[in-house]
Amino acid sequence: MHIVVSIKQVPDSAQIRVHPVTNTIMRQGVPTIINPYDLFALEEALRLRDAYGGEVTVLTMGPPMAEDCLRKALGYGADRAVLLTDRYFAGSDTLATSFALSQAIAKIGETFGPPDVVFTGKQTIDGDTAQVGPGIAKRLDLFQLTYVAKIASIDLAAREITVERRCEGGTQKLKSRLPCLITMLEGTNEMRRGSIEDALCAARSRIVKWSAAEAGIEDLTKCGLRGSPTVVKRVFAPTPRSEKAVQIDTAEKTLRDLADELIGAIFTRQPALEPELAFEAA
Amino acid sequence: MSSANPDTPRPPAGRAGMKKELPERFRDYRHVWVFIELERGQVHPVSFELLGEGRKLADKLGVQLAGAVLGPPGEATQNAVAEAFAYGADLVYFVEAPLLADYRNEPFTKAMTDLVDTYKPEILLLGATTLGRDLAGSVATTLLTGLTADCTELDVDADGSLAATRPTFGGSLLCTIYTLNYRPQMATVRPRVMPMPQRAHRAMGRVIAHELSLAEDEIVTKVLGFLPDSQSGTANLAYADVVVAGGLGLGGAENLQLVKSLARAIGAEFGCSRPLVQKGWMPADRQIGQTGKTIRPKLYIAAGISGAIQHRVGVEGADLIVAINTDPNAPIFDFAHLGIVTDAVRFLPALIEAFTRRLSPHSRDKLAS
Ligand SMILES: Cc1cc2nc3c(=O)[nH]c(=O)nc-3n(C[C@H](O)[C@H](O)[C@H](O)COP(=O)(O)OP(=O)(O)OC[C@H]3O[C@@H](n4cnc5c(N)ncnc54)[C@H](O)[C@@H]3O)c2cc1C
Ligand SMILES: Nc1ncnc2c1ncn2[C@@H]1O[C@H](COP(=O)(O)O)[C@@H](O)[C@H]1O
């Protein structure tokens, strides 16, 4: 089977700092990583390939340096990597991103064989919208399976797939058809350690690089800023609370007294709470 | 919301300065809609929170507020219609079909996009639940309009455009996003981010029924089964009135028992910061914060939590935040209301004991007299 995994290179947001005066992201020296949620999608894709045979193609849209994340994915064992990069894509919102990615996936299909499953992560840690996956599904007319916790079975002959999908208050078991798009839930598997061969191969592999034109995108008005219905009007820092916490003075008090004092302070501020808690506790 | 380039938030130049000129075909898009999320017979409370928010937007715009109720024939769906009115809707768009019994993307996307194409709302709000996110992305892509996810603030500006504000870069910054030149303007909001409005006894208003033009055999995806979550308590974390949470400062998994005991003593739900989930000390649905649950309790007690921005955004709506931390400079004291600089592992047993004493029936009687 042919599996396409759409991954994004993101700044490691654990290490991002905001400039206190200018309110801009200080990204000097901030390492980039594969969006952590996408690793679950990639691992699941690799497992399917190992079980059913076939190939995994990883795809990313981004600046030329996004090549790094593709190399990492090849190191984990992906078979092929495609980088979609063009200045026309700059400033894409989720609608424009899903347009470009869906065109690239169609082109991947023409070039390397049609995909049976397209994977995305649940969401990115920078965009954080969880919209690009459903957007790709809709544009390519793939059956959409979001928040998938487990792929229960695939019947390649019948083109059927059964998955467990996380939903409000429980898990849904769904049967659908290939080709489909799966957004993989986090924590569902653990990324393998790439083999030495894969690592060597990743270093040598040529990455397929496509511009908009090479990916077969004709309508550039659907790309980048022009193709994005949403615009960011204003970026600002959250207003800090004007007061800091009132501290309970701990000097020379027993824990018991401290606890009583804290509880007293709580109920002074929220008098209605005491009878409620007493009722709950009873 | 630049998704292609994880770059510095775009300076509000270029397109943001662009004139808003709504194409002719969108000029008659009017009114504010809220998708009423109904799953297994229950309306998700986030729908009511959105009606509260939608009411404000509709009043500001001088338009009507509508609920969009999609569900199977039966009492639960009828009840959802009544509830939409009780929480402030002026009218309800209503699609009733057996196909809408369990959530599936295909029939819901079809029903929702048909409604929008026919009755043309200017604003469409959905809850950022798993269902709402699954649906919103498909609907927005089908309609080729903009969608702003996980908003924390909604407003309309002077010329009537929706100004949707959401955290970006893990909550370290906020950005306000507009959907220029397209309609409807779509936004999702996470449960508990907006306050719950008052429920009122109001008469039913106008209900506009719409047919779903889709047959079961046209839908490929089938629901084979549903397994409800076993721990019934976890579902309540977001909606609990009192929440106690522990962080890495508790030192080890064994000390989480203190958090659970305190929660039990005061009838609270318990939660945690993200590292505890990553360590496997707590299940994922107990995580509070940007990538976990947003909570809005009357009282939140955080023990051994530093108060990172990703945690903060999930708890800021609490009426009273109490922080227990050994570090007087911990960021949590910047947004907590009450603080105590002490070792939580030693202090929590005393706190449990003190609460138990104070809330015992004996003291309660004293309180009543
Ligand atoms: C994309 C992204 C999403 C994230 N989402 C979330 C999220 O949803 N929720 C979340 O919580 N985090 C989230 N995080 C992680 C977040 O950035 C912090 O790393 C995390 O909240 C820190 O957890 P903590 O406060 O328990 O641990 P720490 O930051 O290690 O803090 C421990 C605190 O305990 C104090 N302490 C130590 N010993 C004691 C003691 N004996 N008694 C009392 N206090 C003590 C210390 O002074 C310190 O302040 C996210 C991070 C990223 C990058
Ligand atoms: N620029 C991109 N290139 C490749 N895949 C992407 C890109 N942006 C988003 N995705 C995929 O879409 C998923 C959801 O992204 P988002 O809607 O930004 O939360 C991610 O987990 C990726 O799998």
What is the CATH classification number for the domain harbouring A195? 3.40.50.620
Report the pLDDT averaged over residues A45-54.
97
Q: How many other β-carbons are positioned within 10 Å of the β-carbon of residue B148?
A: 30
- Ligand 1 binding pocket includes B184 (Cβ within 6 Å): no
Same domain, yes or no, for A215 and A113? yes
Residue in A91, A146, A245 closest to B339 by CB: A245
pLDDT class of B4 with cuts at 50, 70, 90: very low
Distance in Å, CA A94 to ligand 2 centroid: 8
Answer whether residue A232 is part of any domain: no
A132: containing domain: 2-227
Query: What is the tens place of the pLDDT at every residue in B104-118?
Result: 999 999 999 999 999
- Pocket lining: A180 vs ligand 2, CB cutoff 6 Å: no
A109 located within any domain: yes
pLDDT confidence bin for A24, thresholds 50/70/90 = low
A201 and A122 in one domain? yes
- pTM score of the predicted model: 0.90
Q: Domain check: are A207 and A275 in the same one? A: no
**B185 CB within 6 A, ligand 1:** no
What is the best residue among B3, B133, B290 to mutate for testing ligand 2's pocket, by most ligand atoms within 8 Å of CB? Answer: B3
Whether residues A123 and A249 share a domain: the answer is: no
Domain end point (choices A200, A227, A254) = A227
Answer yes or no: do A66 and A195 share one domain: yes
The pair of structure tokens assigned to A163 is 């998955």
Q: What is the pLDDT of residue A238?
A: 80
Report the amino acid identity of residue B143.
Answer: L
What is the C-alpha to C-alpha distance for residues B109 and B136, in angstroms, rounded to an integer?
8
End-to-end CA distance of chain B: 58
CB nearest A94 (choices: B3, B168, B182): B3
A26 Cβ contact list (under 8 Å, min separation 6): A16, A17, A18, A19
Are both A215 and A116 inside the same structural domain?
A: yes
Interface contacts A/B by beta carbons within 8 Å? 343
Q: Answer whether B45 contacts ligand 1 (Cβ < 6 A).
A: no
Q: Is the CB of A107 under 6 A from ligand 2?
A: no
**Backbone CA torsion sign across A165, B102, B191, B59:** positive
User: What whole-number percentage of chain A has pLDDT above 90?
Assistant: 74
pLDDT score at A126: 83
Task: Tell me the pLDDT tens digit for each residue of B150-161.
Answer: 999 999 998 899
Residue A234 belongs to a domain? no
Q: Which atom of ligand 2 is nearest to the CA of A124?
A: 19
User: What pLDDT does residue B307 have?
Assistant: 95
Average pLDDT for A49-57: 97
Contacts A269 to B, Cβ<8 Å: 320, 337-338
Percent over 70 (pLDDT), chain B: 91
Query: Is A220 in the same domain as A246?
Result: no
Q: If you average pLDDT over every residue of chain B, what do you get?
A: 91
Same domain as A178, residue A92: yes
Question: Which pLDDT band, with edges at 50, 70 and 90, does B63 fall under?
Answer: very high
Q: Give domain status of residue A236, yes or no.
A: no
Beta strands A180-184 and A117-121, pairing class = parallel
Q: Say whether both A112 and A248 belong to one domain.
A: no
- Check pLDDT > 70 for residue A139: yes
Pairwise CB contact (< 8 Å): A233 & B176: yes
| Predicted local distance difference test score (pLDDT) of residue B20 | 65
Q: Provide ipTM, 2 decimals.
A: 0.90
Q: Are residues A90 and A11 in the same domain?
A: yes
Most informative mutation of B277, B311, B351 for ligand 1 (most atoms within 8 A of CB): B311
Distance between Cα A31 and ligand 1 center (Å):
21
Test site for ligand 2: of A97, A119, A146, most ligand atoms within 8 A of the Cβ: A97
Residues A203 and A269 in one domain: no
If one counts every other C-beta atom within 10 angstroms of the C-beta of residue A261, the result is 16
Residue B3 has pLDDT above 50, yes or no: no
Same domain, A222 and A249: no
Confidence of residue B6 (pLDDT cuts 50, 70, 90): very low
The answer, yes or no, to whether any atom of ligand 1 lies below 6 A from the CB of B171, is: no
Mean pLDDT of A234-245: 82
Rg (Cα) of chain A, in Å, rounded? Answer: 24
Report how far residue B151's alpha carbon sits from residue B186's, in angstroms, rounded to the nearest whole number.
10
How far is it, in rounded angstroms, from Cα A204 to Cα A206? 6
Question: Which atom in ligand 1 lies closest to the alpha carbon of residue B291?
Answer: 8
Task: State how many domains chain A has.
Answer: 2
